[in-house]
Amino acid sequence: MRDRIIFSDNQQVSARQISRALFLEMLGLSTLLLPPALARLCGTDGVFAILFGGVLTYLLSVAWNRYDTNVKQNDTSEQYYNTKVLKNTTMVIYIGAFLGIAAYVMYFLTTLIEEQLLGKSYEATIVLTLTGAAFWGLWKGLESRLRVYEVLFWILILPLGFILLAACSGVCTDYWTPVVDTSWQNFGKGILLCVLIFSLSLLAFRSKSQCSRPKQLLRATRRSLCAVVIWNAIIYLILLGVFQVGLLSHLSYPIIDLMAVVKLPGNFLERQDALMMGIWLFCLFALLNSMLYYASAPLEKLFSEKGRPKATGICCLAMAALAVWLLHSAERAERMFQVYVWFVVPLLLFLPVVQAIVECLKKRIRQK
């Protein structure tokens, strides 16, 4: 019997799908990590750090697009790497970096579920369930996952917008002052932290070969980046106006705590915080899947047959093992977070630039 060919087998996605998936991934991570960190570093000036960080990341996306278009346009992968040493070294760095990010997201996701919903006794069940779901999502392919994200996009965003709108009634604008009261050193650290978190959106350029219209990818990335920056600025102002700087800097997940504080008209939901938790769980899971996809994609090429299941299985098992290792020590997880934010993410951003410089030098040497 002839195999059935369906539309989702071509592994091509639209720029709109990438934009919406990117928005969900960045929104979940940034709104959980940035508010308490910026409250400690920048205080009431944290919103300016978010805006400046967004502008710098926007400019970085323009530079990345020019690099991707001009430098790599006429080079095949064989010409670009030229030697197996450079190719293999780059592949190992990418796989290790993306697996590490995926493991930390798994740790973060598991910790969130334990603290807010189920408790420590379900840790093994949570890790196994998330690993199995991640494997299934990767095995079904990029297009299938992004279609699910596209369907759920408005289902997730509209309730969140409604809750934030209801939270505005409890905002005290006096808590937004004093302004420009942070040292330049801490303000610079806050901007850099925002740039490094937002710059994960630039990894969307690694999906350029799967995009049905690659020329629209830059516009899609810009659109999702601007939306994430605006949402983060609004959320930070709301959190600042509700909790003040002192309390905000000591809360682990202030955006989750805000969901419990907000009183909806009529009190028709007793625990809207548990319901809204689903938004961040889904956003973090989407980011987890993307990091595993970026790690497994180069690994697939090493297998001659059934590359996707093998590469996916190896990456999922490695990610789960590393996540369990992090779950046994919060200090270890914090150290890993600091290493990845300040060293690994910048390496991922500048490694393609280094590759481009090496390629240009090789061309000049060959011409001489």
- At 315-355, the pLDDT tens digits run 889 888 998 898 888 888 888 888 888 888 888 877 766 66
Residues 6 or more apart whose Cβ sits within 8 Å of residue 189: 41
Highest mean pLDDT among 161-170, 257-266, 272-281: 161-170
State CA 225 to chain mean position distance. Answer: 11
Which region among 167-171, 246-250, 261-265 has the lowest average model confidence (pLDDT)? 261-265
Indicate whether 267 pLDDT > 60.
no
- Say if CB 46 and CB 54 are below 8 A apart: no
Residue 178: asked if its preceding bond is cis (omega within 30°), the reply is yes
Return the half-sphere exposure (C-beta side, CA atoms, 13 A cut-off) of residue 93.
17
Which residue, 49, 19, 12, is CA-closest to 201? 19
Confidence band, pLDDT 50/70/90 cuts, at residue 81: very low
Residue type, 17: Q
Strands (E) across the chain are located at none
Mean pLDDT of 127-153: 82
Mean pLDDT of 248-275: 73
Q: What is the pLDDT of residue 234?
A: 93
Q: What is the pLDDT of residue 361?
A: 67
Enter the DSSP assignment of 340. Answer: I
DSSP string, 93-161: HHHHHHHHHHHHHHHHHHHHHIIIII-GGGHHHHHHHHHHHHHHHHHH-HHHHHHHHHHHHHHHHHHHH
Q: For 144-188, what is each residue's pLDDT tens digit? A: 777 888 888 888 888 888 888 888 888 888 888 878 778 888 888
Q: What is the pLDDT of residue 51?
A: 93
More confident residue, 190 or 365: 190
Q: What is the pLDDT of residue 247?
A: 87
CATH architecture for segment(s) 14-367: Up-down Bundle (1.20)
Q: What is the pTM of this model?
A: 0.83
- The CA–CA distances, whole Å, from 58 to 45, 201, 233 equal 20, 10, 15
Enter the DSSP assignment of 180. Answer: S
Q: What is the pLDDT of residue 48?
A: 92
Q: What is the pLDDT of residue 86?
A: 67
Handedness of CA 69, 75, 76, 81 (dihedral sign): negative
